[in-house]
Amino acid sequence: MTDVLATRAMDATGASYFDGDVPQPREVTLALTQGQSLLEITLDDGQVVEWPLTEVRALPDISGRAQYVLRWTGDPLARLVSPNPFLLSALPQATRRAPPKGRGRLIKWAFAAVAAVALQIFVLVPLLADNMAKFIPVDGEKALGEATFGHIREALDDTGLSPIEVCTSEVGTTALNKLVAKLSGDRAFRQDVTIAVLDHEMVNAFALPGGYVVLFRGLIEAADGPDEVAAVVAHEIGHVNSRDPTRHALRSAGSIGVLGLLFGDFAGGAAVLFLTERLIAAQYSQAAETAADEFAHEALEDAGISPAALGRMFENLQGEHGDRSGVAAHFLTHPAMGDRIRAARAAVDPDAAYGPSMPDEDWAALQNICK
């Protein structure tokens, strides 16, 4: 029965072949060869084309002539057209979907594209940002910090009606500025340190480009004393001194730009929100965090405040919120919290006579800065 079907299938009456190069049909004769594993197509000029039967697929006849159109998966353009219905009976996989061509090459290109994006975001953008930060003028850096501060106030407002309030109690602000002056000493910073407190329960503090240091009311309330707040302020001043916020902002903006090109956020709305979030929960490199801690130890020591205060603040946050949640990410990230606590303790001079960072009345004023 198989031989009969094969014989009837090979009746090439009316069969035509299109090679895909010339839009002219060519008369052909058909035969099964090599143990009926190949469909041999002999053209009118004697040329022979061989199609493996397992790789021949049937296509719908869009011409409406009730003919049978076949293709070989190895040639995307060539077509064999025949009115013989028995031709399909000799094809074991006529109706099976053809495997996609170039899958391996497509996977390689996909991996190459991902690698290229990763190279830009994690290597080229940080390198470019670090170099660009050196050439940003002070006024430009200050303007960047002011604009970012405004976006952060808007992003943290739960009502959507007005930006979150900046605490402006005169006596509290005076106490805070005196603390900044005490910690800065006679150091010559590239830009003056501008400090502000936001009326929000978040336990957080961060630095922005242009010398801005931002505290949250929640952090002041979580501190056991003024020295812990002073230690956090000293740490953030260390980031300002190293211009970490500017480099971080440029890196984030560069990464957002690359991703925006990929995903089509040309308007930049999502970019602003993402950049704001990244600066609120700034996670600097291990080297930058260690350098800011070391600056804080030195600044506290020079101001006559025990460097152990930074370790106590970390212990307080760690005990209340754990190592990875609840508090600003950059307080509870690398280096390990235990290492930072031990480093703060090791910076204490056993022969030094340390005093409080501020008098009791100033501490009381700072605690009520938002009232």
CA dist 304 and 313 (Å) reads 17
Flag whether pLDDT at 49 surpasses 70: yes
3-state class (DSSP) for residue 361: helix
User: What is the distance in angstroms between the CA of the first residue and the CA of the last residue of the chain?
Assistant: 98
Read off the pLDDT band of 15 (50, 70, 90): confident
Residue 76 is predicted with a pLDDT of: 79
Is residue 81 over pLDDT 60?
Answer: yes
SS3 207: strand
- Where along the chain do its domains lie? 2-90, 125-367
CATH topology of domain 2-90: PH-domain like (2.30.29)
* Whole-structure pTM value: 0.63
> Is the pLDDT higher at 227 or at 84?
227
**299-354: pLDDT as tens digits:** 999 999 999 999 998 888 776 655 544 444 444 445 677 888 899 999 999 999 99
pLDDT digits (tens, 9 = 90+) for 151-201: 888 888 776 677 889 999 999 999 999 999 999 988 877 778 999 999 999
Element (H, E) at 113: helix 103-119
pLDDT(59) > 50: yes
Task: Select from 169, 252, 172, 173 the least CA-distant residue to 209.
Answer: 252
The Cα–Cα gap between 192 and 180 comes to: 10
- Per-residue confidence (pLDDT) for residue 256, from 0 to 100: 58
Residue 166 and residue 199 in contact, taking contact as beta carbons nearer than 8 Å? yes
User: Residue 112 has what pLDDT?
Assistant: 84
